Structure 1
Amino acid sequence: MSWLTAEEALRALKTKPQTLYANVSRGRIRAKADPADPRRSLYQATDVQRLAERHAGRRKTETVAAEAIKWGDPVLSSAISTIINGRLFYRGRDATDFAEAATLEQAAALLWNGAAAVFSAAGTGYAAPSLQAAFLALAGRVTSDLPSLGRSPTALRREAQGVLSTVADALAPGPSDRPLHLRLAESWQRPDAADCLRRALVLLADHELNASTFAARVTASAGAALSAAVLSGLATLTGPLHGAAWQGVGTLIETALALGAEQAVRRTLAQGHRLSAFGHPLYPDGDIRAIALLSHFPLPLEFAGLRDAGEAMVGEKVNLDFALAAMAAAFDLPKEAPIIMFSLARSAGWLAHAMEQIDSGELIRPRARYAGPAPETDTSR
């Protein structure tokens, strides 16, 4: 991610400083403090370029649409969550404040606009949290659940409870009357991790229109069952650029243990690889979710060393992927704990977005801008 000084941004925009600051305050241009001089600010280059092109009148409709899918303007409206000035909000409530005492069940009720998440006793008997079990259980539901079209919001909310119960039975097996964070802590035999698990689940529940949420909404927009929408989200989440980014953090930690933190960062950058532990496009001053989590458990020494070296060399603060990997190490959780937590929590968000998309009655169907060989023409006519 590249950043511009105020002078560079003003030259690109051909505007006054007041207009630049107004665009920052309205969230159109991301800004952060200059590491070399905290009194100055730096401005996100792609945001500046996008506004400069808009002001110059060079953007055609198809260009706007294409850029909207690549970290551009919102591609659809949602009342569920948003990120404004480095803060995450669930239906207008500050998510980090909400996570101080809330459970995932309460987060689901908030995201579902008041529909409580009540779990049934499925009696699956899973011995331990299993992502594979979640995939199999959801796939089994997809073949028997009703399509979402033509069904009332009440019926869909009731089904959403059942789908989330299905996911919870696979990812946090335990008695249905126990909060999910306690079920997860007991499954991993780590009772001391329970409160941090609770916070993490709440903070992971939703994050605006990310890749997996968009996938879930596309599926729901076609009228598929809610279980199909969650299955789509879960499949997308496993990508290394999304929910599986914590694996890159683990690899970086292993290199740091062998070579030292600074050398690990230097080698990764020299090889042209991205550092999944640092930075987030929506949080130029630091991932607020990571900040909220990292303040509630002692950071292992190897993670502290990597954080200090990486932040100094990259100029970006550690993100949620780093925090989840550090939390797993601090409490000696299973290796796959970050993706288990992510999948369980985000299922609540996927269901909220699926129900909102169904309520809109709109099919998500963008057009492709063809860039292949020229179509054949019949010259005999």
Structure 2
Amino acid sequence: MNAPSLELTSAESASGRLGISRASLYAYVSRGLIRSFASPHDPRQRLYALDDVEALAERKARFRRPTAAAATALDWGLPVLETSITQIKDGRLFYRERDAVELARTATLEETALLLIGGLDEGAFRLPSRPPEGLAGPAFGPHAFVAQAVRLLSAPAPKEARSAEVAAILRLVAAAGSGADPGAVPIHRHLASCWNAPRAEDAIRRALVLCADHELSSSAFAVRVTASTGASLRNAVIAGLAALSGPYHGGMTERARTFLEDPGRPPGFAFRHRLYPEGDPRAWALLEGVPLLASDATTLKAVEAATGEKPSIDVALVMVERAYGLPSGAAFALFAIARTAGWLAHAVEQRGQATLIRPRARYVLAQEAPTP
């Protein structure tokens, strides 16, 4: 494997940083914990990804200090929950052992929801549902979309079987972005029609599948906390929508659009996703075959040439929006509609565990405000 554009270090340095022997270093490499590359100067010498070495050193330090491990667990730290829904491994995303990129080649969001949630009637999304009440046209942008989706989800609803309830929730969130009732039409086809973008139909389908879930994201954690209290599936999804709207989560699409509209300015966000050091596979799977705007293609090449960074899914969603002339803010709508499938899976899984998520806080004295 050729060395990518990342910082590498020698075996001696890596072993010293970790406080281990060369044999242990090679064992970590064989287990996939540290990436190894041939030296460009001496093919007989191996070099090691410094990011991996430092991440492993930090992890080992946390295990030695339980208090520190607990304090950092909620900040990209040690795993805090068990799930059988989604796994991110070796730079790839899996939905219940299925490669999400491969799945996105042919699957619909509805089929992906059935896979993620499990135990549903396979005909759930072919059943008729009640048209949404209080729909006031499509809503775009984090604030407007979430406000409309919450309004639709908060309307009185009849008691339904689990399959019908899940289908209704997914359709309601889709209706927030389309301004119309999807009925039993596949959601990607419904959105392409309502947005007057038939050429974008397949890209919309792939976007919905690729964004359906992403392990324990901030919004998924909010959903699980809410579901653990015994709250309804609708209210759990509302919690996810609220978390997604923030500028450091789904709202990142707005920051990506601002950058693409004026790429001469500093981006103000991370172009890449930190869980994918060698590139977000969802982004490249989504952008495959998309007729990018010339300016966006130029920006993509310029950023990668200057920094070695490849685009995250947030950037890819906005590029798709711009390529097909979708409504401004459609990128966030796609993200939210897609992620609803994953949220429902997390809510159902969490409720099945029958445990309340209630972490403890470590009390510290507040600093006094300075005297004016």
**Range of TM-score over shorter length:** 0.7 to 0.9
Distance in 2, Cα, partners of 1:296 & 1:100: 12
Distance in 1, Cα, partners of 2:118 & 2:145: 29
1:79-99 CA-to-partner distances (Å, cap 9, x unmatched) read: 001111011100000111111
CA drift of 1:50 comes to 1.6
CA drift of 1:214 comes to 0.5
Matched, 1:293 2:301: no
Q: How does 1:140-179 map to 2 (within 5 A)?
A: 141-142=153-154, 144=156, 155-172=161-178, 173-179=180-186
Where does the alignment leave 5 or more consecutive residues of structure 1 unmatched?
A: 257-263, 375-381
Distance in 2, Cα, partners of 1:322 & 1:136: 24
Distance in 1, Cα, partners of 2:155 & 2:181: 25
1:109-130 CA-to-partner distances (Å, cap 9, x unmatched) read: 0001142442533333653355
Aligned pair in 2 of structure 1 residues 121, 361: CA closer, same or farther (>3 Å)? closer
Q: 2:236 corresponds to which residue?
A: 229
Selected match of 1:332 from 309, 313, 325 = 325
CA drift of 1:198 comes to 0.4
Q: 1:370 corresponds to which residue?
A: 363
How big is the alpha-carbon RMSD for the aligned residues of Structure 1 and Structure 2? 2.9
Determine if contact 2:152/2:172 at 8 Å carries over to the other structure.
no
Q: TM-score by structure 1 length?
A: 0.82
CA drift of 1:162 comes to 2.3
Q: 1:284 corresponds to which residue?
A: 277
Aligned pair in 2 of structure 1 residues 368, 86: CA closer, same or farther (>3 Å)? same
Secondary structure at the counterpart of residue 78 of structure 2: coil
CA drift of 1:143 comes to 7.3
Distance in 2, Cα, partners of 1:137 & 1:279: 29
CA drift of 1:72 comes to 1.4
The amino acid that maps onto 1:248 is R
Aligned pair in 2 of structure 1 residues 343, 120: CA closer, same or farther (>3 Å)? farther
Aligned pair in 2 of structure 1 residues 308, 34: CA closer, same or farther (>3 Å)? farther
Where does the alignment leave 5 or more consecutive residues of structure 2 unmatched?
A: 1-5, 368-372
Distance in 1, Cα, partners of 2:233 & 2:298: 43
Q: 1:198 corresponds to which residue?
A: 205
Determine if contact 1:68/1:74 at 8 Å carries over to the other structure.
yes
Distance in 2, Cα, partners of 1:51 & 1:176: 48
Aligned pair in 2 of structure 1 residues 41, 300: CA closer, same or farther (>3 Å)? farther
Q: How does 1:101-120 map to 2 (within 5 A)?
A: 101-115=106-120, 116=122, 117-118=124-125, 120=128
Determine if contact 1:33/1:285 at 8 Å carries over to the other structure.
no
Moved more, 244-253 or 80-89: 244-253
Q: 1:259 corresponds to which residue?
A: none
Q: How does 1:312-331 map to 2 (within 5 A)?
A: 312-331=305-324
Determine if contact 2:7/2:49 at 8 Å carries over to the other structure.
yes
Distance in 2, Cα, partners of 1:32 & 1:176: 51
Matched, 1:308 2:301: yes
% identical aligned pairs: 42
Q: 1:350 corresponds to which residue?
A: 343
Secondary structure at the counterpart of residue 88 of structure 1: strand
Distance in 1, Cα, partners of 2:32 & 2:355: 27
Q: TM-score by structure 2 length?
A: 0.84
Moved more, 196-205 or 13-22: 13-22
Secondary structure at the counterpart of residue 82 of structure 1: strand
Distance in 2, Cα, partners of 1:113 & 1:219: 20
Q: 1:127 corresponds to which residue?
A: 137
Determine if contact 1:32/1:285 at 8 Å carries over to the other structure.
no
